Amino acid sequence: MTENTSRGRSRAGSPKANGHNSHAMEVNPFDTPEGREKRRKRKEAEQAAAAASSATVVSGRYAADACTGLSAAGRKALTRLIAVNVADLAAVGALTGPRPTRRDVDAWHAQRRVTWNPPPANGIASLSEVRVATAGIDPKARCALADVVRAADDGQTWATAVVDAARAENTYAALVGDRKQRPVSLTTAQLFDRGAPPEAIAALPDATTVALGESARIVRAWDAEDRLRATEQARANEAAKLVAAVEIPGRINLATYTPPDTAWLIDGLMPMDGSLGLFAERKAGKTTTVVEMVRSMLSGDEFLGRFATNLPAGARVALMDTEMTPAMLHHEYTKVSIPAEHLDRIDLHPLRGRSRLLDLRDEATRARWQELIAPGAVIIVDCLYTVLAAAQVDESSAQVSDIIDGIKALAVQCSAAGLVIVHHLGKDPTKGARGHSSIEGGVDTLATIWLDGPPAADTPRLFSATGRLDVDVPPALLSRGNDCRLTLSASTPRADRARAADRSDDDTAWKLISDHPGKSLRGLEELPTETRKLSRSRLRRALDRLDGLGYIVNRGSAERPAWHAADRPEDAFTIAADRAD
């Protein structure tokens, strides 16, 4: 009994069991019934005032019913909006009367048994959505970017502005990695925000799966273009840094400048540190001319028997040949009897089938070549057209100048004594080098070789040159001697041709007299034409020349001459050196 009683008292004395004590602790002694009544009335007054105040936000359904001047489509579009700012309705002219109170709005919803609770700010329609809706357009409808692009392609200016804005937004979305912001589709309100007129928006179709797929491809294409543009900008920035580091030569006052005497690598033809373009017609002898130039510079002989060479002692020749094998080049350079000590100064780089290695537009490639070329060497590039083909540069393209500038930059970096660029003449030799004008404009001297007649081994070859520093070599006949070396005639091509014709006639007449000794001029003229081979006038002139040279003798009298052939030097009339290969 004692235990039970004790437990009973314990429960009775517990605060949890004593409801009176708990209530006493919660009661505010200053909260009187009168105070509570005052607060209730104040709250009711505040609620009444709030209900009587103007509503700032209404539902789309209420707006569709309360606004005036709307079309059926406009009312239907408004009902799709969850909430609308009353001020926006007034701004678009849809709400012209007194603004509704909260009580009005609540009563309207109560009558229709609709629960209305204003959403947070992000759930309220924007002004653009309200404008689009009152125009009778579904503000939630989406249009595909592809349809807007088509409108822009059709020349609609609003669409061009929308596409430009969408492209900028896509660039930013790609940068921050927000795929949801890619403008594959746009709501009608977004289109309105970007300047699209309502009538144009209404004419756009709703986005379809096909149109969205096309839009995605457009966005991906924009991404690719942005990457390319970024790469180009990066290159431009890098180029700008390189340009900023370039030391630009200072000003030279030409009024007081005294130029030094011109130093020539090849007198009257190619200045020291200068460049020469050797342009030859097909099979006109450009390789033979290059060989003769190298031989002359290394030996100190005159180039073509006329132009003194001044290559510094010990200087080397860097020969980049893209057309011939080492065996072919060895044959060409040894048949002109270049001594071994001179051949040793030729740094041959055979590039047949590897012409792309001479695409020197980038600094890294030039730096690699600079390691291989001795400072002060003469650089010869033979032949330019294969370099252009390997670099996939059309001969008529302005990019040709970039290729040539790269080669010239290498020559400067190597402090080259001279640069020779070999190329082909066009089909019409009178029109200069084949391809873009920069091929000729990029060198100091233009030297040309062409055939004086149809292509053949015995067709005469002509050489001429013109360039800066008053270089002017008129056309003259190129001749190759028995030693395979070239010389340039001192006379004009016409005079050379006339002399060659006379020598041929003299040779024919001498042989005719040798075969028919003792005949007079009349007797020779009476021989059959196929035997005589010369007209009477040409035969008469040939006899006069032969008599003057002492190659024929008259063993008759002045009245009755009898011509006989005399001894003559070997090959006196047809000289091998007067013909090029």
3-state SS record for 490-509: CCCHHHHHHHHHHHHHHHHH
How many Cα atoms within 13 Å fall on the side-chain side of residue 157? 0
Q: Which residue has the higher pLDDT, 266 or 451?
A: 266
Q: Which domain holds residue 513?
A: 495-578
Residue 36 belongs to a domain: no
Give the torsion sign (CA, 243, 406, 438, 269).
positive
Residue 39 belongs to a domain: no
Please check the confidence at residue 75 and state whether its pLDDT lies above 90: yes
Provide the pLDDT confidence category of residue 152 given band limits of 50, 70 and 90. very high
The pLDDT value given to residue 22 = 47
Residue 19 belongs to a domain: no
Q: What's the domain count of the chain?
A: 4
Instruction: Please report which residue ranges of 414-489 form alpha helices under DSSP H.
Output: 438-441
Tell whether 515 and 479 lie within a shared domain: no
Please check the confidence at residue 532 and state whether its pLDDT lies above 60: yes
Residue 236 belongs to a domain: no
Q: What is the pLDDT of residues 301-357, one digit of tens each?
A: 999 999 999 999 999 999 999 999 999 999 999 999 999 999 999 999 999 999 999
Tell whether 324 and 275 lie within a shared domain: yes
Tell whether 75 and 210 lie within a shared domain: no
Q: What is the pLDDT of residues 205-260, one digit of tens each?
A: 999 999 999 999 999 999 999 999 999 999 999 988 888 888 888 999 999 999 88
419-425 mean pLDDT: 94
**Which pair of structure tokens corresponds to residue 426?**
């066009």
The pLDDT value given to residue 9 = 41
The pLDDT value given to residue 310 = 97
Tell whether 148 and 283 lie within a shared domain: no
List C-alpha distances in Å: 135 to 95, 97, 138, 172, 196: 14, 20, 9, 31, 13
Report the CATH number that the domain containing residue 529 is assigned in CATH: 1.10.10.10
DSSP 429: G
d(CA 302, CA 471): 17
List C-alpha distances in Å: 130 to 59, 176, 364: 12, 31, 62
The pLDDT value given to residue 422 = 96
Provide the pLDDT confidence category of residue 6 given band limits of 50, 70 and 90. very low
The rounded percent of the chain whose pLDDT value lies above 90 is: 60
Residue 381 belongs to a domain: yes
The pLDDT value given to residue 493 = 66
Nearby residues of 186 by Cβ (< 8 Å), 6 or more positions away: 142, 143, 145, 148, 162, 166, 194
Residue 297 belongs to a domain: yes
Tell whether 376 and 427 lie within a shared domain: yes
Tell whether 168 and 73 lie within a shared domain: no
CB 400 within 8 Å of CB 361: no
Q: Report the Cα–Cα distance between both ends of the chain, in Å, rounded.
A: 147
DSSP 309: B
The pLDDT value given to residue 14 = 47
Residue 29 belongs to a domain: no
Task: Answer with the one of 69, 99, 134 that is the final residue of a domain.
Answer: 134
184-206 mean pLDDT: 92
Tell whether 522 and 429 lie within a shared domain: no
Q: Which residue has the higher pLDDT, 67 or 48?
A: 67
Work out whether strand 264-266 and strand 185-187 pair parallel, antiparallel, or are unpaired: unpaired
